[in-house]
Amino acid sequence: MEIHIDTDRLSRELETLASFTDSPPPSVTRVLYTPTDLAAREYLKGLCREAGLEVREDPLGNTFARWAGEDPQAGAVGTGSHVDAIPHAGRYDGTVGVLGGLEAIRALRSAGFRPKRSLELLIFTSEEPTRFGIGCLGSRVLSGALSPEAARALRDPEGLSLEEARRQAGFGGELGQVPLPEGYYSAFVELHIEQGPLLEREGVPLGLVTAIAAPAAGWFELEGQGGHAGAVLMPDRKDAFTAAAELALAVEQAARQSGSPDTVATTGICEVFPGAVNSIPSRVRLSLDLRDTRLETRDRAFEQIQRHAERIRLERGVEVRYTPTNADPPARCGPQVLEALHHAAQACGLPYLEMVSRAYHDSLFMARVAPTAMLFIPCKNGWSHRPDEYASPQHIEQGVRVLAHTLAELAGS
């Protein structure tokens, strides 16, 4: 089958999607259920309808665009990603898998392909944790990893619950309807930029993802004693921020010493109370993001962090509490989907590397309900989550072409 990808159209659509932003271009900020997010969704739904797909949304705002197959009762083949963007991000994270997925479907339609199984583009609600503090919100609920009850109670920094926020955004119905019925998808495949430097360094255009690293995240709360920055002498202090600083260094050390090069840990947010130059910090909230491809080394790093937290508590007289947000197991990708990706890359004459995904993706959760794999394309310098994130039209075209061939094999004709 001759598959033609319309790279110019796709580049234009990526550019238009990037114009839905709450920060100055070239940065992109698109946070769940904001007017900007909702406008971007309208734009995408319009493109899906123009392509002849049937669009539906679930009560969380996960958006499905379906091309019915000749056997509509058979489990569908899904592809897709997310379009929310963290503050001051770039234009390719997630969007390449959404607009690229749409382009792959359009290319198959133009090529006269008639799928046996339905093909479905899925735009996940909020892969990024920006608003409700937890990543992969849509796919967690779709896959049953997060119950509708637990999701309903999530709150944003303004105290608005997910339940209120989604209804205000116009998504009605009950969250209990979101989890996918068994067998809904027979396979799922997500195209994404690598967000790391390996493909570019090796000069290879494709990465076939065999496993997705497991994130654990949560918050430390430290409580010391506030006071006057001039009047309280050093031996009498219980400074919550210096305790947090020591804890942040312990987190870094634990990841470095886990025994696995795949362990990574980040303390990306530190909120200091009361936050005055002349007041001793009395309270701190410090975020933890700890990831690994192996649970064993991640757990070992976490235990070391806990030991240091206890030591810091005793040495500094500062209370340290940890509240987990999530601790997910890693995912292995589905052999049959990987096999289809191998075939597709070969059919396109493109070399590939097998690799793990260190970032998390909605595929981490889709892997719980369907055989799932991911396809990576290179991005410049491995940069992501920053405004100068870049993937070339040529690399995007190659990824989309391989995706189209993969979808065709998985859907059958």
Positions at the binding site: 82, 93, 128, 192, 385
Strand, helix or coil for residue 83: coil
CA distance 226 to 223: 9
Alpha helix stretches (DSSP H) within 172-294: 198-202, 240-256
Residue ranges for the known binding site for Zn(2+) are 82, 93, 128, 192, 385
CB of 270 to ligand GLV, least distance (A): 18
Least Cβ distance, residue 214 to ligand GLV (angstroms): 11
Gap between the Cα atoms of 35 and 50, Å rounded: 23
DSSP state letter for 116: S
**Which of 38-46, 127-135, 141-149, 216-224 is the region at the interface with ligand GLV (rule: CB under 6 A)?**
127-135
Of 301 and 359, CB closest to ligand GLV:
359
User: Rule CB under 5 A: which of 61-120 touch Mn ion?
Assistant: 93-94
Contact code string over 311-350 relative to Mn ion, x by CB under 5 A: ----------------------------------------
Contact window for Mn ion (CB under 5 A) among 209-217, 264-272, 335-343, 358-366: 358-366
75: nearest Cα among 189, 186, 150, 154 = 186
Does position 196 interact with Mn ion (CB under 5 A)? The reply is no
Nearest approach in angstroms of CB 128 to ligand GLV is 6
Contacts of 199 (CB under 8 A, 6+ apart): 205, 206, 207, 353, 355, 376, 377, 378
Q: Which of 92, 124, 360, 383 binds ligand GLV (CB under 6 A)?
A: 360
> Is position 135 an interface residue for ligand GLV (rule: CB under 6 A)?
yes
Question: Which of 58, 120, 128, 262 is close enough to bind ligand GLV by CB under 6 A?
Answer: 128
Q: What are phi and psi of 133, to 5 degrees?
A: 80, 5
227: β partners = 280
Is 123 a binding residue for Mn ion by CB under 5 A? The answer is no
What is the DSSP code string of 191-213? EEE-SSSHHHHHT-SEEEEEEEP
What is the rounded CA–CA span in Å between residue 378 and residue 395? Answer: 7
Residue 190 contact among Mn ion, ligand GLV, none, beta carbon within 5 to 8 Å by kind? none
Question: At closest approach, how far in Å is the CB of 10 from Mn ion?
Answer: 17
Percent helix / strand / coil, the chain, rounded to 5: 35, 25, 40
State which of residues 10, 99, 254, 359 lies at the interface with ligand GLV (CB under 6 A).
359
Residues lying near Mn ion in the complex (CB under 5 A) are found at 93-94, 359
> Which residues would be at the binding site for ligand GLV (CB under 6 A)?
127-128, 135, 359-360
